[in-house]
């Protein structure tokens, strides 16, 4: 049995980020289901490995981690010589470039895109009322971020250079929902450079495997 365990459902954007990294690095792993509707993420045992009661939680033997981007960095460094060897760069300068775009994803891209994913994809599935003001403000913020990406991707094939990296991988979960499950996909696909980039990164075998693990009700 694989020593690496990932706690949480593949439908979770944070969990799917970790899964994509594990597939890229060709690491065997075991998915441990966490039934959040039943409060399993708030049990004493679970809080020992994820003190904030969220997903994912990650175990590699005696190592326990949480926060998906930190997990991805750990996996990339520990398994540097297998799978996609350049996923987190092969030299200091490349690593720094990747890191700055991972930070940009976490601080600039993720807040508005996550808000849109929740409002437009998850709220309807959960029979929750959508907030038009949140949707409008989040879209405006995301457009400004994608303006920066459009310029950057006119200069390089991927965000951190000419090779696919964690910088690109980190954007896959939220963008997948927005493109496939909402009416905001055009924010990405109608841009020349961002659209080309999205087509390429979403076509990777690693991400296709993650999408295959996700089970969603039919889009209404």
- Give the pLDDT score at 105: 98
Confidence of residue 216 (pLDDT cuts 50, 70, 90): low
Q: What is the dihedral of CA 10, 202, 206, 84, to 10 degrees?
A: -130
Calpha distance 213→101 (Å, rounded): 27
- Rounded mean pLDDT of 70-76? 98
DSSP class of 4: E
Tokens of 193: 């450079």
Calpha distance 105→71 (Å, rounded): 15
- Give the pLDDT score at 20: 98
- Rounded mean pLDDT of 128-137? 97
The average confidence (pLDDT) of the chain is 95
Candidates 176, 34, 196; CA nearest to 117 is 176
Q: What is the dihedral of CA 146, 152, 154, 157, to 10 degrees?
A: -110
Candidates 128, 122, 113; CA nearest to 174 is 113
- Give the pLDDT score at 131: 97
Confidence of residue 218 (pLDDT cuts 50, 70, 90): very low
- Give the pLDDT score at 36: 85
Element of type H or E holding 103:
helix 92-104
End-to-end CA distance of the chain: 39
- Rounded mean pLDDT of 59-76? 97
- Residue 220 pLDDT > 60, yes or no? no
Query: Where are any strands of DSSP class E within 99-205?
Result: none
Element of type H or E holding 31:
strand 30-32
Categorise residue 172: left if φ over 0, alpha if ψ from -120 to 50, beta otherwise: alpha
Percent of the chain with pLDDT over 70: 97
């Amino acid at each position: 049995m694989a020593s690496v365990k990932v706690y949480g459902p593949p439908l979770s954007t944070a969990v799917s980020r970790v899964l994509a990294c594990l597939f890229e690095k060709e690491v065997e792993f075991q998915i441990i289901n966490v039934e959040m509707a039943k409060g399993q993420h708030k049990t004493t045992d679970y809080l020992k490995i994820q003190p904030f009661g969220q997903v994912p939680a990650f175990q590699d033997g005696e190592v326990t981690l949480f926060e998906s981007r930190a997990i991805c960095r750990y996996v990339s460094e520990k398994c540097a010589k297998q799978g996609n060897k350049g996923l987190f760069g092969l030299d200091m300068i490349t690593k720094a470039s990747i890191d700055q775009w991972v930070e940009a994803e976490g601080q600039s891209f993720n807040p508005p895109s996550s808000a849109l994913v929740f409002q437009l994809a998850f709220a309807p599935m959960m029979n929750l009322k959508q907030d038009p003001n949140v949707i409008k403000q989040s879209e405006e913020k995301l457009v400004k971020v994608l303006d920066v990406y459009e310029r950057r991707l006119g200069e390089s094939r991927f965000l951190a250079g000419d090779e696919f990296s964690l910088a690109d991988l980190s954007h896959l979960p939220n963008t997948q929902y927005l493109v496939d499950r909402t009416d905001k996909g055009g924010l990405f696909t109608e841009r020349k450079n961002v659209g080309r980039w999205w087509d390429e990164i979403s076509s990777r075998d690693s991400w296709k495997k993650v999408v295959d693990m996700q089970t969603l009700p039919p889009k209404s």
